[in-house]
Amino acid sequence: MKKVYLIFFLFCILSKNLNALETIAKQAMLYDLDTRSVIFKKNSDQLVSPSSMSKIMTIYYAFKKISDGELSLEDEFTVSRKAWKKGGSKMFVKINDKVKVEDLIRGIIVQSGNDACIVLAEGISGSESLFSEELTELGKEIGLKNSFFTNSTGWPDPQHLMTVEDLLTLSIRTIKDFPNFLHYYSEKEFTYNGIKQLNRNPLLFTDLKSDGLKTGHTSLGGYGLVATVKKKNRRLILVLNGLNSSKDRAKEAERLIKIGLNQYENIKVTDANKKLKTLNVWGGDKKNIDIFSKEEISVTVPKRIKKQISFFIKYQSPILPPISVDKPIGEFLIKKNKEILKKYDLFSNQEVRKMNFFQKIAQNFKFLLFGESVIRER
């Protein structure tokens, strides 16, 4: 009968409650991009009105079109009556004017222009409704699990919904997929048609020196923010929603980011593809295998905590063939007491086939003689 072995790998480096953070926001997530660790979350899977934060998706689609060579920053789109008439925050484009894509991008990111969103949507897809359908499909492709777009602007609509978790995923994809375009999100002001407007992201104007991403506000969703800060060789991403005022949004965002930077640290256990342990194989044409993670193993932890986090390698013994290099052979667990905080699949460094009939007889004979499995390597 197979036994499950938990091998104590590295002992304690933490203590109290990892989820000690609290927030007045109705929904929130704080995430360390370098270790892929969730520092804090609250109601992160609730469907909410994302307000103008969903414009990150509109911009993502534009960045993708540019990267794929289907769109240029110098291309121009004509302003329709629908775009010109749209209410809410505006870039102040004029009807029938031709506007460069790069100006529209700045008008959406910096000025949160609803009119700019519609011009871009109509220019890319022919209509805002078709553009919205394409956003929903693209969202699924990039890993958004519960996002439904009915417009390009984030205008309140009972069917236009996202989760904080999806906003985080979208931000991660934006940062990783389009690093050369991320600078647009850190621009503090933009002037168009003689009208200068400041970026609404409050963290751009603090000592945190945020370099993105987007605020949002509607009566349906409240005040929200997706922000990212790169400091002390770490990149944090914060998503907040459901706050009561822009002042609360600014104070809460700065407070949580500073807690993440100052009270938490990253611990790197091992690099990707580095041998963690050698395991014996029973009944295979190889005597043993080395196991490793295809990802860097790391975690973000509170600095003050000393005792409750431990690291384990978990696998089933005996190790039996066939063994594939593509199928996990075990797990690396990061635990707080009995709670699993993170886990990584572990893989074999080589394929192992079953022994043939004669090899099995020889192995069993040697086991009877010497009390151990002896397999000659090929």
123 pLDDT band, cuts 50/70/90, is: very high
pLDDT (tens digit, 9 = 90+) per residue, 31-79?
Answer: 999 999 999 999 999 999 999 999 999 999 999 999 999 999 999 999 9
55 catalytic? Reply is yes
Distance, CA of 33 to CA of 327 (rounded, Å): 26
53 to each of 153, 162, 217, 329, how far by Cα in Å? 9, 10, 8, 41
342 catalytic? Reply is no
pLDDT at 251 over 50: yes
Per mean pLDDT, which range of 17-31, 82-96, 153-167, 235-249 is the poorest? 17-31
Of 37, 52, 54, 171, catalytic: 52
Distance, CA of 356 to CA of 285 (rounded, Å): 8
pLDDT at 9 over 80: no
pLDDT at 357 over 90: no
232, 261 in Cβ contact below 8 A? yes
Of 26, 41, 42, 55, catalytic: 55
Q: What is the pLDDT of residue 355?
A: 77
**Which domains can be identified in the chain, with CATH numbers?**
3-13+269-370 (2.60.410.10), 27-243 (3.40.710.10)
Q: What is the pLDDT of residue 308?
A: 80
8 pLDDT band, cuts 50/70/90, is: very low
pLDDT at 374 over 60: no
Token code pair at residue 202: 């409050």
DSSP state for residue 179 in the 8-state scheme = G
Distance, CA of 159 to CA of 57 (rounded, Å): 16
pLDDT at 369 over 70: no
336 vs 177, higher pLDDT: 177
51 catalytic? Reply is no
Per mean pLDDT, which range of 211-225, 227-241, 363-377 is the poorest? 363-377
Q: How are beta strands 339-348 and 330-336 bridged, if at all?
A: antiparallel
pLDDT (tens digit, 9 = 90+) per residue, 337-347?
Answer: 888 889 999 99
Q: What is the pLDDT of residue 18?
A: 46
Segment holding 55, helix H or strand E: helix 55-67
% of residues, the chain, pLDDT over 70 = 89
Of 37, 80, 89, 112, catalytic: 112
pLDDT (tens digit, 9 = 90+) per residue, 315-329?
Answer: 998 899 999 999 999
Distance, CA of 96 to CA of 53 (rounded, Å): 27
Residue appearing with tokens 């295979």 = 284
Token code pair at residue 30: 């704080």
pLDDT at 256 over 60: yes
146, 45 in Cβ contact below 8 A? yes
Distance, CA of 221 to CA of 240 (rounded, Å): 11
pLDDT at 301 over 70: yes
